[in-house]
Structure 1
Amino acid sequence: MDIEAKLRSEAGDVRGLRMEARLLDAEGAVSARHEQSLSFTARESRATATLKLPSAHLWQGTDDPYLYRLSIRILDSSGRIVDSVEQAFGIRQMQFDAKRGFVLNGKPYRLRGVGYHQDREDKGWAIATADVEQDVATMREMGVNSIRLTHYQHGQAIHDLADRYGLVLWDEIPLVSAWTLGDAKDATPGLIANARQQLSELIRQNEHHASVASWGIANEVDFGNSLPAFLTSFTGAPPDPLPLLKALNRKAKALDPSRPTALATCCEGRLFAPGVEVPITAPEADLGGANRYFGWYYGKPHEVGSSLDALHAQRPAQALSVTEYGAGGTTTIHTDNVLGGPVDSRGRAQPEEYQSYVHEQNWAQLAARPYLWATWLWVGFDFASTVRSEGDAQDINTKGLVSFDHKLRKDAYYFYKANWSEEATVHITGRHYTDRAYAVTDVRVYSNTPSTQLFLNGKSLGTLASCKQHVCVWQNVRLVAGTNVLTAHGSIQGTTIKDRVEWRLSPAMARTVRIDSGALVAAKSAIGLYGSDNFFEGGEAGSIVEPADFGKPATPISIAGTSDSAVVATYREGDFHYRIPLENGRYRVKLTFVEPSVAGNARRFSVLANNRVAIDDFDLGNASRAAKTAVVRSFSVAVAGGLLDLHFKPITGQAIVSAIDVVR
Structure 2
Amino acid sequence: MRLQGVGYHQDREGKGWATAPADIEQDFAIMREMGVNSIRLTHYQHGQVIHDLADRYGMVLWDEIPLVSRWTWGDDAVASAGLRDDARQQLRELIRQNGNHASVFNWGIANEVDFGKSLPAFITTSKDTPAPDPLPLLRELNALAKSEDPSRATALATCCEGRLLGSADIPITAEAADLGGANRYFGWYYGQPGDLGKHLDSLRALRPNQPVSVTEYGAGGATTIHTDNPLGGKVDQRGRNQPEEYESYIHETAWATLSAKPYLWGTWLWNSFDFATTVRREGDAIDINTKGLVTYDRKIRKDAYYFYKANWTATPTVHVAGRRYVDRAYPVADVRVYSNAPRTDLLVNDRVVGTLSACPQMICAWSNVALAAGANRVVARGVFPTGAVDDAIEWRVAPEAARSIRIDSGALVAPEIAGKRYGSDAFFDGGRFGDINAYSGYGPRPEKKVVAGTPEGAVAETYREGRFGYRVPLANGRYTVELSFVEPALAAGARQFDVVANGKRAIAALDIAAVAGAPLTRVTRRIVVPVTDGMLDLKFVPIKGDAIVSGIEITR
TM-score range, shorter chain: over 0.9
What is the TM-score when the length of structure 1 is the normalising length?
0.82
1:196 maps to which of 77, 88, 96: 88
Q: Report SS of the residue matched to 2:327.
A: coil
CA deviation digits over 1:524-581, x for unaligned, max 9? 2234111111111111110011326357567543211111111110001111111111
1:271 lines up with 2:164 in the alignment: yes
Check the 8 A contact 1:185/1:239 in 2, yes or no. Answer: yes
Query: C-alpha displacement at 1:610, in angstroms?
Result: 0.8
Map of 1:84 onto structure 2? none
Contact 1:186–1:239 (8 Å) recurs in 2: yes
Distance change >3 Å, CA 632–CA 514, structure 1 → 2: same
Aligned to 1:288: 180
Note the alpha carbon deviations across 1:21-53, whole angstroms, 9 max, x for none: xxxxxxxxxxxxxxxxxxxxxxxxxxxxxxxxx
Which residue identity lines up with residue 262 of structure 1 in the other structure?
A: A
Residues 344, 350 of structure 1: 8 Å contact kept: yes
User: For residue 256 of structure 1, what is the aligned residue in structure 2?
Assistant: 149
Instruction: Verify the 8 A CA contact 2:183 2:214 in the aligned structure 1.
Output: yes
8 Å CA contact 2:406, 2:551 repeated in 1: yes
Task: Report the equivalent of 1:236.
Answer: 129
Going from structure 1 to structure 2, the CA distance change for 1:555 and 1:277 (only over 3 Å counts) comes to same
1:158 matched residue in structure 2 = 50
Compute the displacement of 1:181 (Å): 2.1
| Residues 338 and 520 in structure 1, CA contact (< 8 A), matched pair in contact too | yes
Within 1, Cα distance between the matches of 2:545 and 2:260? 42
Cα distance in 1 between the residues matched to 2:297 and 2:66: 24
Distance verdict in 2 for CA 1:660–1:112, change over 3 Å: same
Which of 191, 200, 205 is the aligned partner of 1:299? 191
- Amino acid corresponding to residue 67 of structure 2 in structure 1: L
Contact persistence 1:382–1:399 (CA under 8 A): yes
Tell me: CA distance 1:297–1:141, structure 2 relative to 1, closer, same or farther (3 Å). Answer: same
Mapped to 2, the partners of 1:228 and 1:115 lie a distance apart of 26
Distance in 2 (alpha carbons) for counterparts of 1:435 and 1:127 = 36
- Which stretches of structure 1, 4 residues or more, deviate above 3 A after TM superposition? 550-557
Gaps of 5+ in 1: 1-108
Q: Secondary structure at the match of 2:471?
A: strand
Which residue of 318, 333, 358 maps to 1:441? 333
CA-to-aligned-CA distance 1:203-252 (integer Å, 9 cap, x gap): 01000000000000000011111035244422321110001001101111
Partner of 2:305: 413
Q: Residues 652 and 441 of structure 1: is their aligned pair in 2 closer, same or farther, counting only changes over 3 Å?
A: same
Q: SS at the partner of 1:539?
A: strand
1:372 to 2:260 alignment? no
Given the superposition, is the C-alpha separation of residues 338 and 536 from structure 1 closer, same or farther in structure 2, using an over 3 Å criterion?
Answer: same
Q: Using a 3 Å threshold, how does the CA distance of structure 1 residues 350 and 601 change in structure 2: closer, same or farther?
A: farther
Per-residue deviation at 1:505?
A: 0.4
Taking the aligned partners of 2:53 and 2:124, their CA distance within structure 1 comes to 37
Residue equivalent to 1:454: 346
How do residues 110-149 of structure 1 correspond to structure 2 at under 5 angstroms?
110-149=2-41
Farther-moved stretch of structure 1 (487-496 vs 416-425): 487-496
Q: Under a length normalisation based on structure 2, what TM-score does the superposition of the two structures give?
A: 0.98
Q: Corresponding residue for 1:12?
A: none
Contact residue 403 and residue 410 of structure 1 kept, 8 A: yes
Q: Give per-residue Cα distances to partners, 1:571-592, cap 9 Å, x unaligned.
A: 0111111111111111111111
Q: Which has the higher contact order (CA 8 A, sep 6+)?
A: 2
Q: 1:584 matched to which residue of 2?
A: 476
Q: Counterpart of 1:481?
A: 373
Distance in 1, Cα, partners of 2:340 & 2:176: 41
Cα distance in 1, alignment partners of residues 459 and 123 from structure 2: 34
The one-character-per-residue Cα deviations of 1:159-180 (angstroms, maximum 9, x if unpaired) are 0111111110000000001111
| Residue number in structure 2 paired with 1:387 | 279
Q: Aligned with 1:294: secondary structure?
A: coil
Structure 2 residue aligned with 1:5:
none
**Does the Cα contact within 8 Å between 2:236 and 2:441 map onto a contact in 1?**
no
CA distance in 1, matches of 2:511, 2:444: 36
Deviates more, 1:599-608 or 1:448-457: 599-608
Distance 1:612 1:636, change over 3 A: same
Identity, in percent, stands at 63
User: Is 2:521 the counterpart of 1:629?
Assistant: yes
Distance in 2 of aligned mates of 1:406 and 1:307: 34
Q: CA deviation at 1:152?
A: 0.5
Number of residue equivalences: 555
Q: Tell me, in whole angstroms, the C-alpha distance in 2 between the residues paired with 1:449 and 1:144.
A: 20
Alignment of 1:19-38 (within 5 A): none
Counterpart residue type for residue 394 of structure 2: E
2:415 to 523, 529, 534: 523
Is the 1:599–1:626 Cα contact (8 Å) retained in structure 2? no
Contact 2:159 2:183 in 1 (8 A): yes
What SS is found at the alignment partner of 1:247? helix
Secondary structure at 2:426 match in 1? coil
Deviation at residue 320 of structure 1 after TM alignment: 0.9
1:564 partnered with 2:469: no
Partner of 2:106: 214
* SS of the residue 1:475 aligns to: strand
